[in-house]
Amino acid sequence: MTTRQRSLAALMLGVVLAAGGLSWFFMRGKGLVDETLSLQTRLLAGELTARDRRSGVAQVTRNIDKMGREDIKKVRDAFVADWQRLQQEGIDEYFAAGEADREPLLDRDITRLGTAGELWFATNPRSNGKPPKPRKPKKAASKPEETKVTPAAQLLDVYRTKLLARAGKRGISVPEWLLGPR
């Protein structure tokens, strides 16, 4: 092989590597959204063991670090929607179950709540690992209106109380702020 052929081969190799590097730089994070959404859904559904759950949350965090702002918003919005849906399903299942069947449902939801708390921080790249600060209440109008407590709010309050009592009985700290305002 002559010097000219070697130079040409080195130049071709450099061009291929540069093109590969540029395509990786501009395309990174595109396939991560689907992977992250799938993993997030499996984590919230409770399909993974404790060890797999920890590594899954770590994988979600790594994926979020590689994504762009729009992709992170998609993942975060999907997480919030999944969490709200699963929380409502858990409440419905709890009240539909007999008295004897309620403790296992609470245990499942305690695990789910812990995972949701970890995913909350994992899907927020600006997170500092602390629960969000509660918002200041809006100033009331001149005449405070009588607020009616809806049946759904009453059920949520009963469920929340039972869930927190069960978590306390098991010695588990849960991110209570994810259950919504009291």
Q: Is the pLDDT of residue 81 over 90?
A: yes
- What percentage of the chain exceeds 70 in pLDDT? 81
CA nearest neighbour of 178 among 83, 111, 103: 83
Higher-pLDDT residue of 156, 14: 156
Coil/strand/helix, residue 173: coil
What does the H/E/C string look like for 5-50? HHHHHHHHHHHHHHHHHHHHHHHCCCCHHHHHHHHHHHHHHCCCCH
Tell me the average pLDDT of the chain: 82
**pLDDT at 175 (0 to 100):** 85
Q: Is the pLDDT of residue 130 over 80?
A: no
CA nearest neighbour of 174 among 122, 118, 102: 118
Predicted TM-score (pTM) of this structure: 0.70
**63 DSSP assignment:** H
**pLDDT at 162 (0 to 100):** 93
Distance of alpha carbon 122 from alpha carbon 180, whole angstroms: 19
**Cβ atoms within 10 Å of 97's Cβ, excluding its own:** 14
Q: pLDDT tens digits for 24-76?
A: 555 554 688 999 999 999 999 888 888 898 999 999 988 988 888 889 889 99
First-to-last CA distance in the chain?
78
